[in-house]
A and B are shown apart, each in its own frame.
Chain A
Amino acid sequence: MLRYLVPLIVFLGVAGFLLKGLELNPREVPSPFIDKPAPSFSLPKLHEPEAQFASKDMLGQVWLLNVWASWCVACRSEHPLLVQLSRANIVPVYGLNYKDEPDDARNWLRELGDAYVSSLIDYEGKVGIDYGVYGVPETFVIDKQGIIRHKVIGPVTPSALDNCVLPLVRKLQQATAQTVVKRTEVEGCV
């Protein structure tokens, strides 16, 4: 008798896994950089190349690092949203001008508006490599302890901003040094 139940039991086991599988997102490739300290760097600023910006100056603040370039078409599409975001004064947005000619970059910002507190010249793309950038644009959410908490690959969309980036930023801003906020706590990020 029992052996005739085997197909049923096996099937119910498989169904259990399928149910679990529904909660998972197979497209999400975990980034090795998330929940790891952001690689520190020091780069000249786009608008005052004599001055250096050091990432460790940002400790104690939640900030966004947006990787962009004037040659990047998708950056054009996300830029108006970033401009809006910076006007709202919620979180400082820094630009990493990746493998770009500084003159082209400055013209581009003049034309489209400057969304960044400051843009940093990564002419040879070394910092980009440290951050594991494999497509422009990419946007990193970095917390007060200088840890990367999230990364948006490709242009930031209004829904990604409203459902993931901003809620996460708010939580990170409220967090103290003792509490760890991970992006998995924000529904829109997973």
Chain B
Amino acid sequence: MIPEIGHFALILALCVAVVQGVVAIAGAQLGIRSWMVMARPAAQVHFILVAVSFVCLMYAFIYNDFSVEYVASVSNSMLPIQYRIAAIWGGHEGSLLLWALLLAIWTMAVARYSRNLPLDMVSRVIGVMGLISVGFLMFMLFTSNPFDRLLPAALDGRDLNPLLQDPGLIFHPPLLYIGYVGFSVAFAFAIAALLSGRMDATWARWSRPWTTIAWSFLTAGIALGSWWAYYELGWGGWWFWDPVENASFLPWLVGTALVHSLAVTEKRGSFKNWTILLAIFTFSLSLLGTFLVRSGVLTSVHAFAVDPERGVFILGFLVVTIGTSLALFAWRAPKVGLGGRFSLVSRETFLLMNNVMLVVAAGAVLLGTLYPLLLDSLDMGKISVGPPYFDAVFLPLMVPMIFLMGLGPLARWKQADLPDMASRMKWAAAVSLVMALILPFVMGEWFALTSLGFALAFWIVSSIVVSMSERLRKTASNNPGAGLLARIAGLPNSYLGMNVAHVGVAVFIMGVTMVNTYEVEKDMRMEVGDTVTMSGYTFRFDGVTEVEGPNYTASRGQILVTVDDETEAVLFPEKRVYFVQTMPMTEAGIDSGLFRDLYVSLGEPVGNGAWSVRVYYKPFVGWIWGGTFLMAIGGLFAVSDRRYRLASRKRKAQKKTAGQTATDPSVADQATAPVQSMERE
């Protein structure tokens, strides 16, 4: 019964989504108020229905209902409860339901936090999101229904892929999807702007916080996935340029460009068409990612569930969604005037260059990802594009971009003075050059690329120090006597958030540079009692014991790590065999520290109690993910800026004083708009 309720809820959600999409947009285009006011309640009902459906599926998973085909294919009665719940998105159908649920939540959030937007804008945005939901719900109901019954019921499930039985599964896909789906808000705002024909700076101001939030979640999701691959796959890498990784990285690259270009459009009114195009591209790439992962056109370690027929559906959906948006763009964009003018040396130019480089990088990654497919479909042979290509095209693009990242925030809008900037930056340049030259020798060995990495990392940090100290000097007269921390706290959150995110980039570069240059790796046969010493750490192999897990047996190795005869850590790498899908899995033994990871993974037994063992010393590897999480936190912090809150507080105040009349959001918006535009440096 419960699965049927879930199924019906999904069908009803589809009906509501159609209404939400068609009526709301039509109402806005035709100016029919009663149709427009329907958008918000429709979004609420839609959310409730999708949520009911999700809860029903969760129920089937928790109570091991193996008469549901999807449950039987990705779960098992022996699976621990937390993985039974996470198994909901461990396969194709459930991932889609999660997608739909998150889309419904984002739509709800837009409906809830958009009281100060004009009604027609809100209903267009909610309408566009409703149409996206129509596509996904249809896809689910017609090709991949998670509630399909299996008769007769299976005695037990085929179990979750052991690779996925990890806390990573609980957090990585939801975070990533929140990001993917969140870009639908920016997309919906862009489409709404195109539909209304009002492609001024206002749409950018409204969609900017949403985009930044989505971007932050996507950043965190990618970082978590990378970390998961690092400790789970047992080969010590953190990024593999796998097609599915690229599929999440593409929207990230273009989304990063979008976040920056929205800033220009909001503050200066420039790049209007470009920003709209980026918003369309960012979400399109999220959809393309879904297509690549779910259709099986590319080989990947991630392709857990693939099916060409589903591929046709998603491709059709992609063509309709993206094709319509781009056609709409081609029709409306020529009418948009140019924004504020700016000279060759200005913050606008720097941000434009940032955008160009990010988009070119995304193009290069996209080309590398699709190239095997292109060649194959032109019958020119089968090839695979590997990390050498991506490294070769990606690094040269990122180096100038990172350099500009230091300059951009210091440049004035409209027109900056180059000699003036040079004199402001001379200390930052000196510090980063000195550090770049000295640090490799401190670490033991000098390489040109290593120096370049350090130079870039210190360049970012020192330019932020310059920028902050200039700002603080300016504000010092406002509140004399306040401590340094209080004065820093007095700076706008959006400015602080940006700097936190940029420091995150520096931390990330530091980690990558260190681990790529100074990592030590040894692959050897070890008998019980054997020791190996590297980078000052002595690893002693203390043998392997058999242990029982809830749904697997494991050979657990014990490795004692000592430094100068003092115990540093004890590592327990495992080789697991899961009962149902008898597939051996490697669990690396890792001791993480601020400045290094010690990483041990078990290979195969080679007789007489000896094993092949792989040992790594990885300096600063944790900084890679630490830096990425800083980027995500910076993004969220920027959204907490006063000007966004101010707008809503002002709105409430006005509601109180004006009573009934102020309930019309468009009235409220006119009142808050000046407040928002005042809030800038």
Contact with B along A100-136 (1 / 0, CB 8 A): 0000000000000000000000000000000000000
Across-interface contacts of B418 in A (CB, < 8 A):
none
The B-contacting residues of A in range 1-50, CB under 8 angstroms, are: 1, 4-5, 7-8, 11-12, 14-15, 17-24, 26-27, 29-30
CB B416 to nearest CB in A, in angstroms, measures 29
- Determine the distance from Cα of A4 to Cα of B311 in the docked complex, in whole angstroms: 29
Which B residue's beta carbon lies closest to that of A5?
Answer: B330
Residues A22 and B299 in contact, CB atoms below 8 Å apart: no
Asked if B30 is at the interface of the complex by the 8 Å CB criterion, the answer is no
Residues A7 and B295 in contact, CB atoms below 8 Å apart: no
- Determine the distance from Cα of A107 to Cα of B640 in the docked complex, in whole angstroms: 75
Contact with A along B49-71 (1 / 0, CB 8 A): 00000000000000000000000
Number of residues from B at the complex interface, CB < 8 A: 32
Residues A26 and B298 in contact, CB atoms below 8 Å apart: yes
Residues B333 and A18 in contact, CB atoms below 8 Å apart: no
Residues A26 and B327 in contact, CB atoms below 8 Å apart: no
Give the dominant DSSP class at B's interface: helix
Residues B372 and A22 in contact, CB atoms below 8 Å apart: no
CB A143 to nearest CB in B, in angstroms, measures 24
Asked if B370 is at the interface of the complex by the 8 Å CB criterion, the answer is yes
**Which one of B281, B312, B373 contacts A24 once the chains associate, using CB atoms below 8 Å?**
B373
- Determine the distance from Cα of A1 to Cα of B334 in the docked complex, in whole angstroms: 6
Given A19-B315, A22-B312, check contact A4 B333 (CB 8 Å).
yes
**Which one of B319, B330, B377 contacts A4 once the chains associate, using CB atoms below 8 Å?**
B330
Contact with A along B24-60 (1 / 0, CB 8 A): 0000000000000000000000000000000000000
Residues A30 and B326 in contact, CB atoms below 8 Å apart: no
Contact with A along B408-423 (1 / 0, CB 8 A): 0000000000000000
Query: How many A-B residue pairs lie within 8 Å, measured between CB atoms?
Result: 71
**Which one of A1, A5, A21 contacts B373 once the chains associate, using CB atoms below 8 Å?**
A21
**Which one of B280, B284, B298, B377 contacts A20 once the chains associate, using CB atoms below 8 Å?**
B377
Residues A4 and B291 in contact, CB atoms below 8 Å apart: no
Across-interface contacts of A30 in B (CB, < 8 A):
382
CB A21 to nearest CB in B, in angstroms, measures 4
**Which one of B297, B319, B333 contacts A22 once the chains associate, using CB atoms below 8 Å?**
B297
Number of residues from A at the complex interface, CB < 8 A: 21
Asked if B329 is at the interface of the complex by the 8 Å CB criterion, the answer is yes
Across-interface contacts of A4 in B (CB, < 8 A):
273, 329-330, 333-334
Residues A26 and B322 in contact, CB atoms below 8 Å apart: no
Asked if B376 is at the interface of the complex by the 8 Å CB criterion, the answer is yes
Across-interface contacts of B613 in A (CB, < 8 A):
none
Which B residue's beta carbon lies closest to that of A2?
Answer: B330
Asked if B323 is at the interface of the complex by the 8 Å CB criterion, the answer is yes
- Determine the distance from Cα of A24 to Cα of B326 in the docked complex, in whole angstroms: 28
Across-interface contacts of A5 in B (CB, < 8 A):
330
- Determine the distance from Cα of A19 to Cα of B318 in the docked complex, in whole angstroms: 11
Given A26-B297, A27-B299, check contact A14 B370 (CB 8 Å).
yes
Residues B376 and A24 in contact, CB atoms below 8 Å apart: yes
Given A19-B315, A27-B299, check contact A11 B326 (CB 8 Å).
yes
The A-contacting residues of B in range 198-221, CB under 8 angstroms, are: none
Residues A8 and B373 in contact, CB atoms below 8 Å apart: no
Residues B382 and A21 in contact, CB atoms below 8 Å apart: no
Given A4-B333, A22-B295, A24-B297, check contact A17 B372 (CB 8 Å).
no
Which A residue's beta carbon lies closest to that of B372?
Answer: A26
Residues A17 and B374 in contact, CB atoms below 8 Å apart: yes
Across-interface contacts of B333 in A (CB, < 8 A):
4
Residues B326 and A29 in contact, CB atoms below 8 Å apart: no
Asked if B577 is at the interface of the complex by the 8 Å CB criterion, the answer is no
CB B367 to nearest CB in A, in angstroms, measures 10
CB A6 to nearest CB in B, in angstroms, measures 8
Across-interface contacts of B377 in A (CB, < 8 A):
17, 20-21, 24
Given A11-B322, A17-B373, A30-B382, check contact A22 B330 (CB 8 Å).
no
Residues B315 and A15 in contact, CB atoms below 8 Å apart: yes
Chain B interface (Cβ within 8 Å of chain A)? 273, 277, 280-281, 284, 291, 295-299, 308, 311-312, 315, 318-319, 322-323, 326-327, 329-330, 333-334, 370, 372-374, 376-377, 382
Can you name 20 A-B residue pairings with CB atoms under 8 Å? A4-B333, A4-B334, A5-B330, A7-B326, A8-B327, A11-B322, A11-B323, A12-B323, A18-B370, A19-B315, A20-B377, A21-B297, A21-B298, A21-B373, A21-B377, A22-B295, A23-B308, A24-B376, A26-B299, A26-B382
Known: A18-B315, A26-B299. 11 other contacts (CB 8 A): A1-B334, A4-B333, A8-B323, A8-B326, A11-B323, A15-B319, A17-B374, A20-B377, A22-B297, A24-B376, A24-B377
What are the 8 tightest A-B residue pairs by CB atom distance, in nearest-first order?
Answer: A20-B377, A8-B326, A21-B297, A4-B330, A21-B373, A26-B299, A5-B330, A22-B311
